[in-house]
Amino acid sequence: EAGVAQSPRYKIIEKRQSVAFWCNPISGHATLYWYQQILGQGPKLLIQFQNNGVVDDSQLPKDRFSAERLKGVDSTLKIQPAKLEDSAVYLCASSLAGIYGYTFGSGTRLTVV
Amino acid sequence: ELKVEQNPLFLSMQEGKNYTIYCNYSTTSDRLYWYRQDPGKSLESLFVLLSNGAVKQEGRLMASLDTKARLSTLHITAAVHDLSATYFCAVDQNRDDKIIFGKGTRLHILP
């Protein structure tokens, strides 16, 4: 079974620029998550999708972050404009159902300078 | 609001020793997950615990869940250097397939 695919692996941008990350979940996994992991901390949930609908985006800074999952499969997370404090690893995860666990992608390491 | 606390946050230990990592959570839940993360890598699923009293073992690692105490433990038996990593617990509070992570325990095993 192919895992959760993410791209790019690394990205360096200047503050106030925009950036987008892409995620392709495991085939058949209806639920998709974006997490932000700041160095030395645990992952923080940003947004949860069920198929192409948003279940929870309460922790997403909506003034600068947006996410979509238009066809219920792959997803993009965008930051515009980026701030220095957005430097983190952005992890995508997918799940068939919580009782089976969650599979994480390799992440995108974002550095804002 | 669910809070997940791990302790210790950092642990340095000798090979061959036993130790336990603790995960406490603030609200009722019977779904708890343990993950391992190596430096610069993603999260690897270790255990899924879905009921009170659940115990799972894989190699030198054993995890258990006490929902009444709101406590999970990850026990390491006869540690080896390859187990050096950061270990996270995560809790699903409402069975809504949304997991909240602790801060992680960074484990360093000295050869």
For the stretch A70-95, pLDDT in tens is 888 999 999 999 999 999 999 999 99
Average pLDDT value for residue range B76-91: 96
CA pair distance B22, B87, nearest whole angstrom: 11
CA distance B76 to chain A (A): 21
Q: Chain A contact for B36, CB < 8 A?
A: no
Q: Does A53 touch chain B (CB under 8 A)?
A: no
A26 vs B contacts (CB less than 8 Å):
none
Work out the pLDDT band at B96, boundaries 50, 70, 90: confident
Question: Pick from A3, A19, A5: which is nearest to A88 by CA?
Answer: A19
Q: How does the average pLDDT of chain B come out, rounded? A: 94
Across the interface, do B104 and A42 touch by the CB < 8 Å criterion? yes
What Rg value do the Cα atoms of chain A yield, rounded?
Answer: 13
Percentage of chain B surpassing pLDDT 70? 100
Q: Which of A28, A31, A33 is nearest to A6 (CA)?
A: A33
B72 pLDDT above the threshold of 90: yes
